[in-house]
Amino acid sequence: MCKMEISEDIKRMVENNVVALTSVNKNNTPRNIAVAYVKVKDNKIVITANYMNTTLKNIRNNPNVSMVVWDNNGKGYRIDGITDYFDSGEWYEFVKSMKENKNEPCKGALVVDVREVKNLN
42-98 pLDDT, tens per residue?
999 999 999 999 999 999 999 999 999 999 999 999 999 999 999 999 999 999 999
24 has pLDDT over 90: yes
Q: Which residues contact 119 (CB under 8 A, 6 or more apart)?
A: 76, 77
CATH number (domain holding residue 75) = 2.30.110.10
**Count of alpha carbons within 13 Å of 44, Cβ hemisphere only?**
15
3-state secondary structure of 66: strand
Per-residue pLDDT band at 121 (split at 50, 70, 90): confident
Q: Is 2 inside a domain boundary? A: no
Q: Is 103 inside a domain boundary? A: yes
* pTM of the full structure: 0.93
Number of domain units in the chain: 1
Residue ranges making up the domain that contains 44: 8-119
Instruction: Report how far residue 68's alpha carbon sits from residue 61's, in angstroms, rounded to the nearest whole number.
Output: 21
